[in-house]
Structure 1
């Protein structure tokens, strides 16, 4: 029995304001997409999980891809805002690095599995999906690069390259940490990676 089958379907017939209904449908869709992947998921499954009829689902989202992209937009924005909050949380650059790494670990650890839609999608051949995933990766790196450029006086291109490396490290190590069973507590894991990152970035600008 799948995780979707194990969870009781939401009751039908409840009238909700449009925004609340939309959020409900997105929540149900996320559960189905994370559990089954995009290709195996069906609109029937999502409607059943949300406790609505298919016509109600189609009133809000014309198709499965529309649902997926709406979720992707939501979670890409959440990651970007988490990174920006981390960068703005302090003026101490060592702490900024630690907060940024923790933002990635927090995003990956979220029990809803949103990171799988962003970083482990089975729909990356779809141009609209690839565009969004690439954009959030670059937007996060751009936010980090602005801090690097300001504090190191490196060029925009140099700062961006370093930022892409830092963000890539954060994303890949956080996913590895989760997939390997979280044998190291989150705080300790994020601290370990931030220490590695800080030892590297603290050496700039190079003399």
Structure 2
């Protein structure tokens, strides 16, 4: 007779899910394993076991570990890009825009620190495909900020671009440090500190007449 626990495990493995639900399940399991072990230390066996599926099922959706990792990276970068652009476009008041962008970034890593670690702390970060995706995100974010700065000031495009990169970097570096302190500061307090620092600098540039 098969033990009840083993029966339940077998039933869980054999349960059929719609393709999108199965894909989401596999991505969640992969995120857990990649963050815990790094890309190079992760094994498809462990990802399948974490997802409670067979390896053939995993390979049906993702033919390789690299493809699985890239799918995760693309998904989280798309989410972060949407959050940043949404915050930037949430108001026409530039002071509130800076505040919204900083808060949105902190909220992203507070809601899912595993996603943030996968994107910015991976052992695959120097891989050309990964670094290209990160640069696309950074450029999109910085360009959107630079456009607002250029429209609001008399600064030429290249100077506005540099400020856009600086603001994006300020959000990323400070939020990563905040995450490492295990949220010793309240999220709103931390993000508002960085917002005030950023705004004091940006607000001093001459306004476009």
- TM above 0.5, yes or no, is yes
Tell whether the 8 Å contact from 1:31 to 1:112 is kept in structure 2 after alignment. Answer: no
Gaps of at least 5 residues in structure 2 are: 1-8
Deviation of 1:38 (Å): 0.9
Q: Distance in 2 between matches of 1:22 and 1:84?
A: 26
Q: Deviations over 1:126-172 (max 9, x none)?
A: 21111111111111111111111111142221111001000101100
**Unmatched runs of 5 consecutive residues or more in structure 1:** 1-8
Which 4+ residue blocks in structure 1 deviate beyond 4 angstroms?
A: none
Q: With the length of structure 1 as denominator, give the TM-score of the two structures.
A: 0.91
- Normalised TM-score (structure 2): 0.91
* Residue of structure 2 equivalent to 1:95: 96
2:54 alignment counterpart: 53
Q: Distance in 1 between matches of 2:193 and 2:43?
A: 41
Higher Cα Rg, which structure: 2
Mean Cα deviation higher: 126-135 or 67-76: 126-135
Superposition RMSD in Å: 1.7
For 1:112 and 1:173, how far apart are their aligned partners in 2? 14
Q: CA separation in 2, counterparts of 1:63 and 1:205?
A: 52
Aligned residue number for residue 193 of structure 2:
192
How many residues in Structure 1 have an aligned counterpart in Structure 2?
199
Q: CA deviation at 1:205?
A: 2.8
For residues 19-70 of structure 1, the C-alpha deviation after alignment (integer angstroms, 9 at most, x for no partner) is: 1111111111111111211111100011011111001100111100100000
